[in-house]
Amino acid sequence: MDPVAAKYLGAGLACIGMGGAAIGVANVFGQFLVGALRNPSAAGGERNTLFLGFALSEAFGIFSLLIALLLLFVL
Amino acid sequence: MAAAANPIEQFEIHDIFPVVKIAGQQISLTNSALYMILAVVLTAALMLGTTAGRRLVPTRMQSVAELIYEFVASMLRGAAGEHGLKFFPLVFSLFMFVLFTNVVGLIPYTFSVTSQIIVTASLALLVFFTVIIHGFWAHGLHFLKLFAPSGIPIYILPLIVVIELLSFLARPISHSVRLFANILAGHITLQLVASFVTMIGALGVVGWFAATLPLVFTVALYALELLVAFLQAYVFAILTCIYLNDSLHPAH
């Protein structure tokens, strides 16, 4: 297979990984909402953990995007 | 199409003026270095300039500086305890540097410093080696207890040590790549969507009206990138605090 074509195919395949990251991020916010609706007065104190969890789980989606960009523009 | 080749061009480093030649390698002031200096100047202006009056009842700008100070101090205190505050200058500097370089990089025609892996890797390795060196300096070989938590049955201890060691060594990689890839991907996406506006707008009168759609999307994307700029600075700082806590209190 032509290496350039293989690179484009690889970049497309790498983006499948973002599906898992999307589920993870939705999980984080969903669980925060469950907790916040049960105990609204304690929800403000957990806001920092919410943002930390969001950034950590989004990082893996960004890693797969990075692989795709590496394949397209660097290699 | 020309726009498709452009997304990477915004990350090119240009020399502004040469400084010195060391061992055949030209060291010059680059656009990257210029924006790093700008971030430091802005931080100094915000923190030093606003608090020069040292009023007991603060002015608006002085209270901004005090709020940022208190935000980073409470973050460090929460993650690393009262002993952690000796690392406050490091954490505060990292937070302000990453925050200002992220936000200034969003202005059109500027250069985003944290979109270079060498910059984020240097910051992450700084934190990594601070953790290791301070851990060994403060606790000696007891620092290695970090990899062998208490309460593990003896027969899976070797496996746990290997896993803990690997996850410890993966920290600088994830720490740096998270910030780098977020900013890089954000700027490439912005450039791409903004290029759609001009591409569609070039199609005549229909194009002028149709181009409002990618224009609205660009504005929304800018809001998202602003949120990402603040969030990534906060995440970089709080992970630094958590890693420093490991060097201060290694035994689980």
> Would you kindly state where each structural domain of chain A is located, as residue ranges?
24-75
User: In the beta sheet, which residues pair with residue B28?
Assistant: B18
Q: What does the pLDDT read at residue B10?
A: 83
The pTM (predicted TM-score) of the whole model is: 0.91
Q: Per-residue confidence at B3, pLDDT binned at 50, 70, 90?
A: very low
Say how far residue B4 (Cα) sits from the centre of its chain. 27
User: In the beta sheet, which residues pair with residue B27?
Assistant: B20
Residue B214, amino acid: P
CB B21 within 8 A of CB B13: no
Task: Check pLDDT > 80 for residue A45.
Answer: yes
Q: What does the pLDDT read at residue A1?
A: 83
Mean pLDDT of A53-73: 90
Task: Check pLDDT > 50 for residue B27.
Answer: yes
B181, A66: Cβ pair inside 8 Å? Answer: yes
Q: Closest Cα of chain A to B181: distance in Å? A: 6
A52, B235: Cβ pair inside 8 Å? Answer: yes
Q: Closest Cα of chain A to B151: distance in Å? A: 27
**Tens digits of per-residue pLDDT, B73-98?**
999 999 999 999 999 999 999 999 99
